[in-house]
Chain A
Amino acid sequence: MSDEYDNNKSYQAQSSEVMDGSTGSVSPDIDYVRPSEVGEQELYHPHSFIEKWVFCQDAKVIGVQYFLTAVFTGVVGLILSWLMRLQLGFPELAGFMTAEHYYQFVTMHGMIMVVYFLTALFLGGFGNYLIPLMVGARDMVFPYVNMLSFWMFFVAVAVLMASFFVPGGPTGAGWTLYPPQTILEGTPGAGMGILLMLISLSLFVIGFTMGGLNYMITILQARTRGMTLMRMPLTVWGIFTATVLAMLAFPALLVSAIMMTLDKVLQTSFFMPTILKAGEVLEYGGGSPILFQHLFWFFGHPEVYIVALPAFGIVSDLISVHARKNIFGYRMMVWAIVGIGALSFFVWAHHMYVSGMNPWFGFFFATTTLIIAVPTAMKVYNWILTLWRGNIRINVVMLWCLGFIVTFVNGGITGIFLGNVSVDVPLSDTYFVIAHFHMVMGIAPLMVIMGAVYHWFPLVAGKMLDEGLGKWHFWITFLGAYSIYFPMHYLGFIGVPRRYFEMYDSPYMTSAVGMNEFISIAAFIVGAAQFILIFNIIKTLKTGKKAEQNPWKANSLEWYTSTVPPEHGNFGDRLPVVHRWPYDFSVPGAKEDYIPQTTAPSEVIHTEVEKT
């Protein structure tokens, strides 16, 4: 490792030769990289246990803190889903559960999984850990703000969890929190529950904004020498674009949360029309419930891509590393990420086809929605073409990636069904919708998370996760997830409505009951299988075999830190200098099948190309 830095030293010395910009001619030295513009970042090193592990300013520790907190909420969400499946499959065993409980579990499961689990995990967890390492920075640019970001998120989670213990319990209005029923008496948790939910969401947005500014400025302004935007790993591109989306979409959530809080606390009528209740006119009147739906989905649709884009980016890197092949169409991949991000702001009303909107609106939003399929399909083709004739390692990481591609294609195709107004109207509010979005933004990103955990665990902990346990984990999850969600498409086609506590005497009761039992059993098994990972992590930390530096033979900078796991400051005395993109795998004629980003051209240029 140390000689990497010695190599760089000599280039540093050559930086006095200046590029002649006017004619575009470059100094004869092909290894030349421009000198540093910004100079060294001033870091505050921790002085105590609390500064090192609790109120820590190191992005890597913050990333792990985000990760663990998000996983905790994810486990809560998982348990809620078990309870829901218990009621749907085996109502006779779920006697303790009332309809109110069921709605509360549905709501909390949805909100936790989408916002507090997936968003926090990808942006807060992977973003914090990987961005500074991958762009070659010492840390995030505002470490103190970054620390505040995590603790704000922590408080948001605490407030959310507190809502389980207040009188009336958490809100049961569905994760979309549609007014007017959300804050009206009769909806479970319409008292303290919804209030805590709205406060928690606002805190989340504030906390995320602080983190998001860090991610964006670190990527834009704190890259190392030689690291151009088009030499960044796609992971960074995915997280970056998702952060931009979040910075522009979360304001709508914040505003709708504030307005609904006022509706709840001060009896304003932003979203509340005139309401008759048991023959009595309520205090409310003159507001617009549809306004909330617009605000919510202006946040809600980009939110889908806030989760999906980091997953796209990460999976591209994992596939490239484990297929020992450069990512196919890197620039196309970047532009597809950016394009999907931009388009995601013009499709929100496809969640509202049944809200009674003007048909021309439906037409417009159906068109924009289907256009998104173009860059998305490009990405899928590129993943396949990256695998094509690659030197594929079928290890746990690759299995998760392959699982992702299949699941994502599956969920994407049902998305094309639902994007069309005429198909969506009969299918909306059925299990088809549940199946669609769990495939496309539940299971698919989760598979990437799992792959990423197995891939980067050696970097974070310095030990290799157990492959055997990993394969069990993968196969149970993969087959189990299909057992859960494939039948749900069918349930949707026969018209089983979602969010129903039970089917009573409807004809679904007889035709769907066996399938519901099957789905529930699969859900119990898949949920339990996730604890294999937790067991694997604990076991590996205790007795796992030590990882070598860069066990996957990857090229990107995070594997070329001064120590493993990286210390505060990441890269030792000298920041790495980047000469190439991170995808130089199996380059013809090169000595190894990978060329790290820090390898200068002069080190590889003399090797002969073998005849093939």
Chain B
Amino acid sequence: MSEPKIDGFELKPGFKGMASDTASDQTMFKGVHWGKAMMWIFLLSDTFVFSCFLISYMKGRGSTPVEWPNPSEVFALEAFGVPVPLLLIALMTFVLITSSGTMAIAVKYGYEKNRKMCGWLLLATALGGLTFVGMQAYEWSKLIHEGVRPWENPFGAAQFGSFFFMITGFHGFHVSIGVIFLFIYTYKVFAGHYEKGKKGWFTKLKGDYVEIEILGLYWHFVDLVWVFIFAFFYLW
């Protein structure tokens, strides 16, 4: 992406630039689309949501009187008769991070107005997200089958199940929302709504390829959060 050009305003690098942008009129973030700025601020707020969840998890795990289950045993998966710790999670993480890659390329092709490539990559991202949610559903059903419930589990502290289902569930909900929007945008790109300036279903306003980047921000955020959940739940 090229640097934005602002008529009658010189963009300076570094802190000086930040100061002069802040002191200027009209916009604080020069050349940044409203929707993009909104998504960044929403993600900041959402970061606080996940931080509260994870800090509560740390506090809960630290103060429970019963021993915490060993994650490498609980999350092990049998492959060819051998229990491999964290196999499923490794796969899930790989799929999700890969989908972040396809998303990033989709944004690039979107700005180049390459409808076909953008659409196919969005579809790939959506399918990656769907695979992730499917594997998570598999993991949940496996744990439920082994007797893990939000209120109890056979391996140790009851809070293990509570926090696990709540936080991965909340994250999975984010992924699912993202997948739905990815499918919607895939349709919109293939149907050429942005070229035609077709008005949105709800907002009745015209769309633009920047929407792909905005969705991309959300998608990368969801992946980043997963990295933290992965570290705190499976590696700790």
Contact = CB atoms under 8 A, between A and B. Distances in A.
Nearest to B166: A262
Contact of B150 (A142, A217, A262, A287): A262
A152 to B, nearest CB: 14
A370 interface: no
29 contacts: A37-B6, A37-B30, A37-B31, A42-B205, A42-B206, A212-B45, A213-B41, A216-B41, A217-B37, A221-B27, A221-B28, A223-B26, A224-B26, A225-B25, A228-B23, A247-B41, A248-B44, A248-B45, A248-B48, A251-B51, A256-B52, A259-B166, A268-B161, A285-B65, A285-B158, A286-B63, A286-B157, A288-B59, A578-B25
Contacts of A226: 25
B145 interface: no
Interface in A206-223: 209, 212-213, 216-217, 220-223
Interface string B18-48: 0000111111111110110110011011101
Contacts of B26: 34, 36-38, 221-225, 227
Contact of A267 (B25, B31, B32, B151): B151
A22 interface: yes
A470 B63 CA distance: 56
B151 A252 contact: no
Given A34-B8, A44-B204, A270 B162 contact: yes
Contacts of A248: 44-45, 48
Contacts of B7: 18, 34-35, 37
6 closest cross-chain pairs (CB), A and B: A21-B10, A251-B48, A268-B162, A255-B52, A251-B49, A144-B203
A15 interface: yes
A19 interface: yes
A212 B205 CA distance: 21
Contacts of B30: 37
Contact of A258 (B31, B41, B166): B166
B60 interface: yes
Contact of A288 (B22, B63, B163): B63
Given A286-B66, A291-B60, A44 B166 contact: no
B9 interface: yes
A221 B53 CA distance: 31
Interface in B191-221: 202-206
Contacts of A38: 26-27
B196 to A, nearest CB: 15
A295 B52 contact: yes
A306 interface: no
Nearest to A255: B52
B159 interface: yes
B34 A286 contact: no
Interface of A: 15, 18-19, 21-22, 33-38, 42, 44, 141-144, 209, 212-213, 216-217, 220-231, 247-248, 250-252, 254-256, 258-259, 262, 266-270, 283, 285-288, 291, 295, 298, 578
A254 B6 CA distance: 40
A508 to B, nearest CB: 38
Contacts of B52: 251-252, 254-256, 295, 298
A38 B206 CA distance: 15
B114 interface: no
A578 B26 CA distance: 10
B64 interface: yes
Contact of A255 (B24, B49, B204): B49
User: Which of A143, A213, A223, A224 neighbours the largest number of chain B CB atoms within 10 Å of its CB?
Assistant: A213
A256 B49 CA distance: 10
A222 B34 contact: yes
Contacts of A19: 8-9
B56 interface: yes
B44 A247 contact: yes
A283 B151 contact: yes
Contacts of B46: 251
Contact of B34 (A36, A221, A285): A221
A187 B42 CA distance: 37
Contact of B24 (A216, A228, A262, A288): A228
B235 to A, nearest CB: 22
Interface in B128-176: 150-151, 157-159, 161-163, 166, 170
Interface in B57-73: 59-60, 63-66
B10 A262 contact: no
A576 to B, nearest CB: 12
B9 A34 contact: yes
B41 A217 contact: yes
B25 A33 contact: yes
Nearest to B6: A37
A143 B203 CA distance: 8
B56 A22 contact: no
A594 B128 CA distance: 62
B211 to A, nearest CB: 13
A287 to B, nearest CB: 7
A298 B203 CA distance: 35
B9 to A, nearest CB: 6
A156 to B, nearest CB: 18
B228 to A, nearest CB: 15
Contacts of B25: 33-34, 223-228, 231, 578
Contacts of A212: 45
B27 A37 contact: yes
B206 A295 contact: no
A291 B64 contact: no
B84 to A, nearest CB: 30
B8 A268 contact: no
Contacts of B8: 15, 18-19, 34-35
B159 A22 contact: no
Given A35-B8, A213-B42, A268 B150 contact: yes
Contact of A259 (B37, B56, B205): B56
A261 B203 CA distance: 33
Given A221-B37, A262-B150, 14 more contacts: A142-B38, A209-B42, A217-B34, A217-B38, A222-B26, A225-B26, A247-B41, A248-B48, A255-B52, A268-B151, A268-B162, A270-B162, A270-B163, A287-B60
B44 A141 contact: no
A611 B206 CA distance: 58
B114 to A, nearest CB: 26
Contacts of B48: 247-248, 251-252
A342 to B, nearest CB: 15
Nearest to A20: B10
User: Which of B10, B56, B150 neighbours the largest number of chain A CB atoms within 10 Å of its CB?
Assistant: B56
A253 to B, nearest CB: 9
B205 A266 contact: no
A255 B163 CA distance: 12
User: Which of B24, B26, B32, B151 neighbours the largest number of chain A CB atoms within 10 Å of its CB?
Assistant: B26
A42 B25 CA distance: 20
Interface string B168-189: 0010000000000000000000
A262 B164 CA distance: 13
A247 B10 CA distance: 32
A229 B59 contact: no
B207 to A, nearest CB: 11
A288 B58 CA distance: 12
B38 A213 contact: yes
A177 to B, nearest CB: 16
Nearest to B24: A228
